[in-house]
Each structure stands twice: as structure tokens, then as C-alpha cells.
Structure 1
Amino acid sequence: MNAELIPGLAKSWVVSPDGFSVTLHLRHGIKWSDGEPFTADDVVFTYMDVVGNDDIANNLRDGCTVGDKFVQVEKVDDYAVKASVTEPYRPLLRDCIQGVSLLPKHKLAKYVAKLNPGAGGNRDAVQSVVNNYRDDLQKADAQALVALDAAIKQLAQAIEAKNADQVKAAVDPLQQSLDQLIQALAPGDARDDLEKAKSYADRALQSAQANQFAGVSPDTFNNTWNTNTPPEEFAGLGPYTLVSYQTGQQVLLKRNPYYWRVDADGVQLPYFDELAVVIVQNIDTQFLYFKSGQADMYPARPEDWAEVLGAAQEESWRTIKDGPPYGNTFLVLNQDIAKVKPGDPTYQALQYVMRAKEFRQALAYSINKQAMSDNIYRGLGTPQWAWISIPSPFYDAESANQYPYDVSKAKQMLDDLGLTDTNANGVRNITDKFLIAQKACNDSVDCAQKFGPQDQREVSFPLATNTGNTIREAMSQQIEHDFKDIGIQASYLPQDFNALVTGLTGGQYGGVVIGFTGGVDPTGFNVWKVDGFYHFWRYSSKDNPPEWELRAQQLQVDGSKVFDVQEAMDKYYKEFIQLDSEYLPVIYLINQIFLYAVDQCLENSQNFRPQSGNLPQWVAFGERTWWQRTDDCKAKLEQKGRLGAGPK
């Protein structure tokens, strides 16, 4: 594996001499899984009508935005598209073009408001925003909310009457009520979404004046394909199609009869007729499934590796061990933690603590990574010191500030900050000295009035990770213990993974241990832009960004324009790594090396290796795996009910 880009749906591509565009030539004759032709129209639809559409929530837009302009994708002919940017952009092919899954226009265009404009759809969008925040709006200005509801009702009647003048008469008071509520709300999601509601009202008027009175709501597409959608409604270009989804249990896939890839002998892929993906959140249970033969492959934990090796010969397992994968595991602290408990003076004071880089550095020194590597990873992990993935040619540990385990230094740094245990209960307090130094208050009297008595202001917060991931659970428990040694109370709180991610991306957390997938290129605009979708440590940066974050963002932007790796490293990424590791928006932990155990009868599994983007192996290699037909394997697979298609 060398992470080189190879032809796929595009059989070839040509980069313009100035590097500002790339023309991709698509394969002819490819069909969606429902038999409809795949053409350039689908590519243009995916980029220009979905990913680049501000109405549609997605985390892909940042990676396809160069400067402040989204990549422009245009149709050249039925089987060629041209993607253009306004300045050189190294990750254009790898991150933007390769990293976006294409969507079928014939299935989804009818759900996109941009392609189906109308006053009614925009009215529905205004109503949806109001319903989502009704309780907040009621508290902010009940009278304005009553007026807003009346204006929305008036707008609905005007649209039903198909009268543009009446629509205008309803939009004006609607906008006024929205303005009143925006003024009454504190900065945050509710205020931002009410600003969107104003734009929906404007669009409703524009549509009415264009005699477009029906239309699709701007939020319709976001809810179109979900877990309740019948399988036959989906259409894809991959090797398998959906048969059924049992919530929390299993995804059953069948062979896509229109899949375009063939093997070296011309046999259409994939080899398997069916593929069952069992959903098991608890890793202990995953291992039991593999050992009992209910699963055929297992991404092993370090704690399982000795058992896997010991049983491999008897159980006919193939074992694969490789270097660290792409991605990282880290602890992130919420620098907007006051949002978790609005009006709570202790959380307001704690926000100043979370934002102090010296505090985060002290915590980094307090984490015993060697113990974490030895006890949790059994020596099968490596410490990471920066965001960029270790296998990437852009990773440079020597440029990073490193934080070797040093409890004395951590304690001294906290003492120097003014985070001391004022009441001798073992937990440090947020003292007046600290808050005055942070310019949060002027003197002790002012501090007490704003934040309450210092003896009641403790450095204490919840520490969450996803339940069932035993490695992250163990890491969190060690971190809780390590922080306790320096007087910081981080209360371990396992959560369901979906709830964890919702809290993380909604800013409703204290500290979280989690991981991100990664790739070859270090560009991560959805994380490092101050308004990025995953700028989760401090979403408020979009309104008031710290200087170092602006510099990190600029280094990401400037670095993405340079195609030579060493030049980009010397000019931009070494400084980026230094900033990242100095300010520690996240505290990097340990990256496990690649460990895999596979049923030996599953042929081609010997090629399993870490993938850019951390694709599961059944996704990355699934189309080219098959069952061996040796006598031993055939008997074994017949017993397990697994024997299916293979290469002819």
C-alpha cells in the first residue's frame, strides 16, 4: 500500500498546466444499482446541488472550499466533468474528488429545494426553525413569538391563495418578529438559525413573485435517506446493495448486479453473493463472535493479540500486523463549557480554565502515556504528538512539543496559574488570582460577585467516551486517575456513541476521549477552519477566533497550495505542528498499530492493511475477497453456511 491514487469511476484525469482545474473522464456504461445510467449529471448534482449547497448539512463542504469559494464542477459532456478552483489546491483530487461519495440525481433531485424552489417550502422551513427553538423563544420574548406565529399563519394563507402581494404583506411582520427575537437571544445556535429563517422568508417572497408557490423545504434533503427508508429506494455505485437494516443488529447486503469492476480474468466483482455486517458495539462481544465463528474477521485489540496468536494455528486464523493506521486518538476539552450550564457561575469560571493553554499543557504532562501503552495497549501502540496521521509523509514528531510524564511539573504549572486547593479537599479551585490574571474580574469582590466564592469553584468536569469501546474506556479511567493525582476532578462517564458525538458536535460536553480517521494529506479544513464543522473544541471561534487559531488556519490554507511535500513541510506544516502541539486544542494519546485476525479460508485477506480514511477492511477489500475451495475450507464453510460465489 502506497496510498497512490488509482483510476476508479474516472478512468483518467488531466490536471491543467496552471493547477487550477482537473478534467475527469468517466467510464462509459456504468449503472447505478437500480439499473439507471451513471453520467456526468450525477457528478455535477452531487457537488453543486448537494455538497456545495448551504441548505444541506454536511461535513464535506469545508474540504472542497478553496479560499472562500466552493470548487466549481461543470459538465463537459455526458462522460467528462471539469473541477475548477480559484487557486492551486493540492488536496483537490485526494480529499475533495476522491473523498465525496456520488449521489444519484434521478433519485434525489426532487428533494433539493434549490432545484424545486417555492414559497411553501420556505414557509415550512421557517416553521421548522421556530418549532425547534420554541421553548427558548418563549423565554426570550413571548410577545414577539405570538406575533411570529401569527405572521407564519398569515404567510401560509397567502401562499395557499397564490397571492404574491399577500405574501409580501405577511413577510414584513414576520421579519420584524424574527429581528425582535434575534435581539432577545444570546449568541448561539438558536440565534444563528433564526437568521437562516429570515433568509427563508426572503426566499418565500422571491418565489411567490416568480409565481412559484409550492416547492420543497430547504431541510427536506437532510431527512431523505435514513434508517427508515425502504431498501429499494437507495441506489449506489458500490459492489453491494442494501437488503435490510435491523437497528442495532445487522446490515444485510447483496451483490450489485450492475457493479462495474472486474478481476484480471474479466470476472465481474464482487465474488460474494451476500455480505452480512453484524452491529456489535461492545468489543468484548465482537471478539466472542469471531472466536465462535459467527464473524469471519476481527480488528483485534492489543489485549486480545496474545490469545489470537496462540489460537491462530488451531483455529485456522490468519494474523496481520502492521504499523500505526491513519487517524488519531485524543482527549478534547470543551473551551465553550459555559454553554453546557448557561447561567452557572462555576461553569463560566471553568471556561476560563479550559481556555488557558498552560492548563491543557499541565494535563498533558500528567498523563502517563508509557503506562497507557504498556497496560492498555500491551506495547502495541505508539504515542502521537500532533494531528497529522503518523503514516503521512507530512507527520513530523520532531517539530512537535512533547509532554513526557511529569507529575511534579504538572502540579507546579497549575500552582503557578493560581489553580490551587483552597479548602484541602483534594480538588483544585479556580481562585480569584487565576480569574484576575485571565481578566475575568477586577478584584476578589468582583470575582465573588461574578463567579461565587472561590472555595465553591472547583476544577471539575465530566469525562466521556463511548461505552463498549474497552480501550477508550480504559484510557478514560486512567486519565481520571492521572488527573486526580494532580488535583483535577474528571468524572468518567461512558455514553452511547451517537449521544457522545451529538454532545461533541453540539458543544454539550466537558471532556471527551475519542478518535478521528485521517488520511495522507494533512489538510483538514472541516477541523482547522475556525468555522469548521468539526472545530469542536471551541465552536465560538467563528465569532471571536484566538490569534493562534487564525494562524493555524492560514498555515493550512497556504500549505494546501504547495505540491512539493518537503517545501510544504518547511514553509508551513512544521510551524502548524508546533502551534498544534503548543496550544493543544486536543491532547493526543496513543495510536494502536494495525492488528487483524481473519478466517484463513477468506482469500485475499492477507492484503489487509491500514487505509487512508480508516475504511473498514470489509469495505476496502470486500469486493475482492472470496472463499477458498480446498477440502478443509469447503467442509468448514458448508458447516458455517458461508460457501458462496468466488472467482471462476
Structure 2
Amino acid sequence: MNLGIFKQIFRRSWILGLLGIWVALALNGCNPSQFKTQAAQVPQLVIGTTTDPKTFNYALIQENPNISGFTYEGLAVQNGTTGKLEPAMAESWEISEDKLRYVFTLREGLKWSDGEPLTVDDVVFSFNDIYMNKRIPTSNQDGLFIGESKAFPKVSKLDNRRVEFTLPEPFSPFLRTVAAGLAILPEHSLRQAVETNRSDGQPQFFSTWGTGTDPKKIVVNGPYTIERYSPSERLIFRRNPYYWRKDAQGNPQPYIERIVWQIVESPETLLIQFRSGGLDLQEIGPASFQLLKREEKRGNFTIQNGGPDSGTNFICFNLNKGRRNGKPLVDPIKSRWFNNVAFRQAIAYGIDRQAMINNTLRGLGEPQDSPISVQSPYYFSPKEGLKTYDYNPEKAKQLLLGAGFKYDSKGQLLDADGNRVRFTMDASSGGRPTITPKIKQDLGKLGITVDLRYLDFGTLVEKRSNTLDWEAYYGAITGGIEPASGSNVWSVNGSFHVFNQKPQKSKAPIEGWEYADWEKKIDDLYVQGAREFDEAKRKAIYAETQRLAQEYLPFIHLFNTLGLVAVRNTVQGVKYTPVFSSPDSYIWNGYELKVAEKK
């Protein structure tokens, strides 16, 4: 799990709607296979997505899926199959005995996609001038704040091939979250944008490499460059001729010359295009699994099951007690409900998660009870003692009554002052429309009225990070191996401490913001966990964070789907893993994928 993965709150859009009406549609409509016949016949892979990229600037990316897996690389990479770290831009590294110095040696002859040399100076620039630049506050910085002091590491050039990172204190996840979690960016292309201010006083960097930029000006170091972007249609990647990898025979990688990222309006249309042969590879959901499983042989594809998704689906309440310009961010009446632990626990007991798995997910999912991914060695399971909230509406009602709530003659839940319990729950307009109505239905049985509001991703991000004026929402966070990658979620000052968010530095301040003792305790434990190198002790520390999270429920976790991907049999080498977020889940080893000629 890297820092970029935590930038996004919404996971893959699984195809969960009624499919019968789509099956009847003609399969030869807007089909990317038509593009394939018009293009030069070179090895290419066609995949699909429902969203346009928001930016081509790696440091400013907040959405998934995004372009970074195609275009950028760091000093190290994580192997999606083994979970181990492997050399990338750096051919090797050394760690001092006191765990405070990391020295990376770059590969010889590295180049950017424009042919310019990639050097140690680029590494120093990437960290000192972008990632650790306080004038460019992004979620990347959360993983670079080390220890209680929240100090940055010091990054310095030793010689033409060696760069040194000096840490203020031992930081066990350094290699995974920093070396493999952050890409190297080109100094020769971006320094001017970092040092030049716009008319509003902000660095020009914030306006650099937007989606309107000529792709030829986007300089990358990953396996692919951006060749062409047609909004709402497609994004075309072309093999980077200067990419460093070669196979055992000395052949340059990647093997696939071009990747076409087809942009369509809905998950249902993606399914249609895959079934018609227009897409080579497509992540699928439980509803489409049953349909596609019957078509594997005829459609010349195979469905890979990667096991439980590494992310977490949840509902979350706004616990922020702050005020902006004298006005509370959250209605004080509702804020008292949301900040009542018994209320949150009652909500958790009142949601029938197993029914969601059985019905909506067609049994292709598992309950999720922890903020840490099940694939992580630090995951603390219910069998080990983690508290769970299995469906128990009677217990939910008892908790509510014990907390001073009451019922009127119509069975509606009222608080101690007679206020009817009713709140608005936000969700992505591109998310799972069958889940939120089920939550509304379940909570209705407790006498609670939930008003559902579907918003586009940009509006949701604005509310989470800037205006902070929301009540509850349904969403997801992607996960992975290393818990410390979630420091921006669990630090009380983190950029994605979403349930009790402080405003970003460039946004209007709020008054009266405060955090609970349990919030600070989890924050402190994450600092301890990052300082500890003994694996058994680290597991115990993160187990305690999970106990606290399940007791106080800042996130009410729901379920994990199984990670499923349908791969055309002409595509060779896909090693699908839901440990990464899409599209990295299936192109993490894109440099070794091949496309066989179709017969």
C-alpha cells in the first residue's frame, strides 16, 4: 500500500445494477474495437474506466483509478504477488545500523521520457522541493512526517549516483511508504513551476500538467508516456522508449506498445464493451460475475479471483465540533448524536451486512471489521479478539434507549429533547446504489430516517477536505500491506482524518476544533508502530489501534467484495492482486504483459 493509494475515498465501481436491460442492448454500439481496427496494428491493450483523469500532475492526484501506475516509478516497487520490495529507479540500498540513514544507489543511464538524464538531483528535488514543500500541502506529506516531532527526513546528494535520506528517528515503514510509495519527478520540467507564483500567490505548480496540457509536455519515468487524451472518450499511452527495464534476453520492456484506456459513461457500458470484445481486460463485480462465468469459453476469457479486496467499505459520521465564521459545521443537535459512541455502535448493530453480502454481492464478499486490510500481516481478526457488530436490531435499540433516545407512538426515534433522529448520507453518484438504500432500509427499522444524497466525486472531495459541511457518507478507502500508509487517516492532523477533519492549510480556518482521547491514542500508537522494527511488537501495537477503532467506530465497516477480473485469453502475464487499487491491481507488472495475436 502506498501513499497514493490513500488519496482516494472511493474504490472500484463494481457492476451491481440490474443487468437484464443491458443485455438486450446491441453489442456493436460505441465499441473501442472500432478504434483498434483504425489504429496501426501494434501490440496494444484496451481497458476501460468510467471516469476521466482529473490531473496529469502526479503530486496532485487524488482519484483512483489514475495514470500513475502507467507513467511513474519510485526508487523501489512492491511486488504484487509476493508483497516484497524490489529495486526500481534505485538498483540497491543500504540501511545504517541505527536505522537512521538510507543510502540509495541509482541505476546507471536512467533517462526521462524526453531523453534527459534522470539523476540524483531529480530525487532530491522531488522530495525537498515538492513532497516536503510546505507551500504544496498534499496527502503525500502525511507519510513523510516522522515520529512525534512530525519532522521531515533530510534528503541530500552524496555523489552522481547516491542519495541519502537521514531520518529524525527510526521509521520502519520507510522503504514501503516512501521509497516505493512516491515517484521521482523531473526537476528540469517542474522546477520553474514550483518556484513561480500565480496571481493568487500560490505556486504555479498547482496549475501545472492539468488534463488540458499537451501530452508531449508531460515528462515521465514509468513504462508508458501519455500519447493522446480525448476527454470522455479515451486516454492513449505509448511505450516509453527510455524506460529502464529489460528482460533476461536484453529485450526492452514493456512488450505492449500501446495501452488504450477507454472512458465510458457507466459500469454497465463497460460490461457491454467487454462482452462484445471491445475490451481486453475488465474488473467485474458480483452481479456481472454470474453472467460472465457462463461465457468464459465462448468469449475467450478467464476470470481471475484475487481474494478479498484490500480496501474497506464503510459509513462515517462527521464528528467535527468546529465552527467556521461562527456557524457550526454540523447541526449541534445532530453533532451530539454523532459524537455519542452508543449511537454509532447502535448504527453498526442495526445494519445487516450479511444480507448485503448474500443478496447484493451474491455471496462474493466477506464482512469487514477492521481498518487494516485482511492481507496485511498486521490485521487483527475477530478470531483473535477483534470486536464485531453482527446484525442485532434489538441490541441496537437497547443501546439507543440506554443513551437517552426514545420512541414516539409511530415508532420514530427521538433524542432526549424530542428531536426526531434524521440525517443525510452522502454517496458517490458512481458508487453502489443498491447498498445505500439497504442502509436506509435497515436504519428505518430502528426508527431513524436517512436521506440519501448522491454527489459526483469532485463535490464529495470538496465537502470532505474543504467545506466540511456534511453529516454522514458511504464510501471506501483502499488498503494494502503497511498500516503506516494510513497515517493520513489516523493522525489527528492528517489530511484524510475525514471523520474529524482539520481544514487544509490553504483553506479557511475553523474555531473550536477538538479531538477525543481515543483519536489521540490511535495517533500515538501509529507513531509507535512506525518506530518499532520488531514484527511481533508491531503487530501488537496495530492490534490495539484496531481494538480502539472498533470500540469507538469512527468508521462503521461493512464488507469486502472479492477481487475479480475478466482477462481476455490473448493477454498473457496478468497477475491480478486486489492489494493494489485499480488499475495497478492488474497492471502492476505491466512491463511483462504480452498480447498474443488474435486468430
Q: Same fold (TM over 0.5)?
A: yes
> Structure 1 CA distance, aligned partners of 2:405 and 2:330?
14
1:44 matched to 2:124? The reply is yes
* Structure 1 unaligned residues grouped into runs of 5+: 129-216, 433-453, 636-648
Assess if the C-alpha contact under 8 Å between 1:337 and 1:509 holds in 2. no
**Alignment correspondent of 2:420:** 458
**Alignment correspondent of 1:527:** 489
Assess if the C-alpha contact under 8 Å between 2:346 and 2:396 holds in 1. yes
Alpha-carbon offset, residue 425 of structure 1: 4.8
TM-score of the superposed pair, with normalisation by structure 2: 0.81
**Alignment correspondent of 1:191:** none
Assess if the C-alpha contact under 8 Å between 1:282 and 1:467 holds in 2. no
Partner letter of residue 401 of structure 1? K
Larger Rg computed on CA atoms: 1
Partner letter of residue 463 of structure 2? G
Compared CA separation, residues 345 and 521, structure 1 to 2 (3 A): closer
**Alignment correspondent of 1:578:** 547
**Alignment correspondent of 2:524:** 554
Compared CA separation, residues 489 and 60, structure 1 to 2 (3 A): same
Indicate which of 554, 558, 572 corresponds to 1:603: 572
> Structure 1 CA distance, aligned partners of 2:410 and 2:330?
17
**Alignment correspondent of 1:503:** 463
Partner letter of residue 128 of structure 2? M
1:415 matched to 2:391? The reply is no
> Structure 1 CA distance, aligned partners of 2:158 and 2:83?
29
Alignment partner of 1:6: what SS?
strand
**Alignment correspondent of 1:93:** 175
**Alignment correspondent of 2:239:** 255
Deviations 1:564-602 (CA, angstroms, capped at 9, x unpaired): 2212122x1121111011011111111111211111111
> Structure 1 CA distance, aligned partners of 2:114 and 2:283?
33
Compared CA separation, residues 561 and 488, structure 1 to 2 (3 A): same
- How many percent of aligned residue pairs carry the same amino acid? 31
Assess if the C-alpha contact under 8 Å between 1:337 and 1:350 holds in 2. no
Compared CA separation, residues 346 and 431, structure 1 to 2 (3 A): farther
**Alignment correspondent of 2:454:** 494
**Alignment correspondent of 2:205:** 221
What is the correspondence of 1:17-56 to structure 2 with a 5 Å cutoff?
17-56=97-136
Assess if the C-alpha contact under 8 Å between 2:376 and 2:481 holds in 1. yes
Alpha-carbon offset, residue 346 of structure 1: 8.6
What is the correspondence of 1:269-348 to structure 2 with a 5 Å cutoff?
269-280=253-264, 282-336=266-320, 343=327, 347-348=331-332
Partner letter of residue 489 of structure 2? V
**Alignment correspondent of 1:102:** 184
> Structure 1 CA distance, aligned partners of 2:328 and 2:178?
42
Assess if the C-alpha contact under 8 Å between 2:371 and 2:549 holds in 1. yes
1:587 matched to 2:572? The reply is no
Alpha-carbon offset, residue 619 of structure 1: 3.3
Assess if the C-alpha contact under 8 Å between 1:3 and 1:612 holds in 2. no
Partner letter of residue 462 of structure 2? T
Moved more, 369-378 or 500-509: 500-509
TM-score of the superposed pair, with normalisation by structure 1: 0.75
Assess if the C-alpha contact under 8 Å between 2:280 and 2:567 holds in 1. yes
> Structure 2 CA distance, aligned partners of 1:76 and 1:346?
51
1:475 matched to 2:435? The reply is yes
Greater helix content: 1
Deviations 1:227-258 (CA, angstroms, capped at 9, x unpaired): 12111221001111112222233211111111
Alpha-carbon offset, residue 281 of structure 1: 5.3
Assess if the C-alpha contact under 8 Å between 2:425 and 2:471 holds in 1. yes
Deviations 1:390-447 (CA, angstroms, capped at 9, x unpaired): 100000123421111000111111122122244x455322333xxxxxxxxxxxxxxx
Indicate which of 389, 392, 415 corresponds to 1:430: 415
Indicate which of 360, 365, 383 corresponds to 2:344: 360
Count, aligned residues:
505
Alignment partner of 2:441: what SS?
helix
* Structure 2 unaligned residues grouped into runs of 5+: 1-80, 504-511
Assess if the C-alpha contact under 8 Å between 1:43 and 1:103 holds in 2. yes
Assess if the C-alpha contact under 8 Å between 2:321 and 2:329 holds in 1. no
Compared CA separation, residues 21 and 247, structure 1 to 2 (3 A): same
> Structure 2 CA distance, aligned partners of 1:92 and 1:509?
34
Which structure is richer in relative contact order (CA contacts within 8 A, separation 6 or more)? 2
Compared CA separation, residues 71 and 478, structure 1 to 2 (3 A): same
Partner letter of residue 535 of structure 1? H
**Alignment correspondent of 1:539:** 501
Q: CA RMSD in A?
A: 2.1
